[in-house]
């Protein structure tokens, strides 16, 4: 998923405990945990080859998830007075794991046991920048910001809607025509070298 989609997904997960217990500090920590696996995109600063080798491996494995979650929980304890630490750690694990699992829904997959194993987890159900996926997250964010009194229900509705969409994509044949464009095919239309799009 894109970075903004990971941010929104993490914010939705925060509505099931972290927000209630720690307020928006808890939401912010969940967002950190939810985007932390993408720290491995920094490999792009080295070479394109390093990026394709390390992205979805270096930060998307069980060891990185555990380490980044422990870092987040420690940060929350020291600077946000978020205790018990074990509770915060488990929510950080949930947010980082959600990041990795949602990335595995796309064609690139993740390497959950790297560098010990090259086993790849890849479902190849969604295309990058699927506009329906983006719409689900953006509408959910608008609803979350607009009606804070129903935040838990909003979070549940958005996550269920995303899950149903993924299940639908798994059950139906590959989209064609206009639906193919809407569900991510449009990303291949701009000329190669288009700023931002080509970087990703």
Q: What is the 3-state secondary structure (H, E, C) of the chain?
A: CCHHHHHHHHHHHHHHCHHHHHCHHHHHHHHHHHHHHHHHHHHHHCCHHHHHHHCCCCCCCHHHHHHHHHHHHHHHHHHHCCCCHHHHHHHHHHHHHHHHHHHCCCCCCECCCCCCCCCCECCCCCCCCCHHHHHHHHHHHHHHHHCHHHHHHHHHHHHHHHHHHHHHHHHCCCCCHHHHHHCCHHHHCCCCCCCCCCCC
Helix 62-80 / helix 85-103 crossing angle, nearest 10 deg: 140
What's the pLDDT tens digit per position in 70-115?
A: 999 999 999 999 999 999 999 999 999 999 999 999 988 899 999 9
Q: Is residue 194 part of a domain?
A: no
Q: Is residue 84 part of a domain?
A: yes
pTM: 0.91
**Lowest-pLDDT range, 136-145, 152-161, 184-193?**
184-193
As for how many domains the chain has, the answer is 1
**Residue range of the domain that includes 168:** 3-188
Q: Is residue 193 part of a domain?
A: no
Q: Is residue 199 part of a domain?
A: no
High-pLDDT (> 70) share of the chain, %: 94
> How many whole angstroms separate alpha carbon 23 and alpha carbon 154?
16
Task: Assess whether pLDDT exceeds 80 at residue 194.
Answer: no
What's the pLDDT tens digit per position in 122-135?
A: 999 999 899 999 99
Task: Assess whether pLDDT exceeds 70 at residue 199.
Answer: no
Q: Is residue 198 part of a domain?
A: no
- Average pLDDT, stretch 36-42? 93
Q: Is residue 66 part of a domain?
A: yes
Task: Assess whether pLDDT exceeds 70 at residue 200.
Answer: no
């Amino acid at each position: 998923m894109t970075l903004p989609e990971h941010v929104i997904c993490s914010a939705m997960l925060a509505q099931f405990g972290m927000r209630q217990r720690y307020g928006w500090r808890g939401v912010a920590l969940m967002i950190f945990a939810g985007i932390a696996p993408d720290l491995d995109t920094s490999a792009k600063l080295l070479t394109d080859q390093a990026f394709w080798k390390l992205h979805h491996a270096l930060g998307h494995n069980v060891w990185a998830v555990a380490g980044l979650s422990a870092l987040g929980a420690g940060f929350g304890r020291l600077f946000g007075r978020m205790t018990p630490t074990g509770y915060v750690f488990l929510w950080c694990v949930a947010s980082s794991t959600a990041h990795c699992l949602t990335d595995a829904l796309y064609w690139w997959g993740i390497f959950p046991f790297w560098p010990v194993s090259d086993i790849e987890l890849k479902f190849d159900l969604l295309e990058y920048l699927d506009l329906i996926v983006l719409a689900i997250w953006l509408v959910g964010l608008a609803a979350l910001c607009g009606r804070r009194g129903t935040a838990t229900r909003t979070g549940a509705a958005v996550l269920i809607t995303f899950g149903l969409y993924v299940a639908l994509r798994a059950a139906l044949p590959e989209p064609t025509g206009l639906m193919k464009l809407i569900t991510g095919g449009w990303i291949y239309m701009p000329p190669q070298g288009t700023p931002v799009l080509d970087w990703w």
